[in-house]
Structure 1
Amino acid sequence: MPKSKPPRERAAYTPPPRSKAKVPNPPWFVPVMVGLMLAGLIWIVLTYLFQARYPIPGIGQYNLAIGFALLLVGFGMTTRWR
């Protein structure tokens, strides 16, 4: 009967090096984030108050899209906030 091989030696587990500490956001980050969210909210409110004639005349309901885009950019920035 053939002899069995001895068990293989495994290298000890070495965890990957830790990443650097998280760098805080620059001081302008939070005011821009909040400003974009407020600008989007105000844009949408104005669109409804003026029945899509303002803030930009002539584009109609696309004013809502602009307001929602401003809101989404502001909320997207919250994911990077530290």
Structure 2
Amino acid sequence: MALSKKLAKKPASSASRRSGNPAKAAAERKRVEESRAAANRVSRVPRKVKATGSPRWYAPAMVTIMVIGLLWVVVTYLFKGEYPLPYFVEHHASDWLVNGNLYLGFVIMMLGFLGLLRWR
């Protein structure tokens, strides 16, 4: 019962009130339609959009770096680690750096891959 009294005493909003005057109702409808039209109005003047992505050369450069790394690894396997840099085989024949050319090839490929992760 208390809830129904609160609901009954609640004042009506201006949108839900109706005027008995048809001219006022028509003016109200026109005002609402004009405000909607103003909200939906779009400017047809073209504007230059600022480029937010990466430059056009970025993705091809990163793919090229990855291919260079792949070729580095292939050349290392074909020449048993002596090329492209013979330093590792000559100076580190007995330790883990004997595979330094492989490490460099994979690092070069990873740099290209990490660069592609930042491409937009």
- In the superposition, the TM-score normalised over structure 1's length comes to 0.69
CA–CA separation in structure 2 for the residues paired with 1:41 and 1:32: 14
* 2:75 is the alignment partner of 1:70: no
CA–CA separation in structure 2 for the residues paired with 1:44 and 1:27: 28
Greater Cα radius of gyration, structure 1 or 2: 2
Secondary structure in structure 2 of the residue aligned to 1:47: helix
CA–CA separation in structure 1 for the residues paired with 2:51 and 2:106: 30
The residue correspondences of 1:54-69 to structure 2 (distance < 5 A) are: 54-60=83-89, 61-69=99-107
Please give the per-residue CA displacement for 1:6-47, whole angstroms capped at 9, x wherever unaligned.
xxxxxxxxxxxxxxx881101221121011100000000000
CA–CA separation in structure 2 for the residues paired with 1:69 and 1:79: 15
Segments of 5+ residues of structure 2 without an aligned counterpart are 1-49, 90-98
For residue 43 of structure 1, what is the aligned residue in structure 2? 72
> Number of paired residues?
62
Q: Where in structure 1 do 4 or more consecutive aligned residues deviate above 6 Å? A: none
- In the superposition, the TM-score normalised over structure 2's length comes to 0.48
**Larger RCO: 1 or 2 (CA < 8 Å, sep 6+):** 1
Segments of 5+ residues of structure 1 without an aligned counterpart are 1-20
Alignment RMSD: 1.6
Of 57-66 and 71-80, more deviation after overlay is shown by 57-66
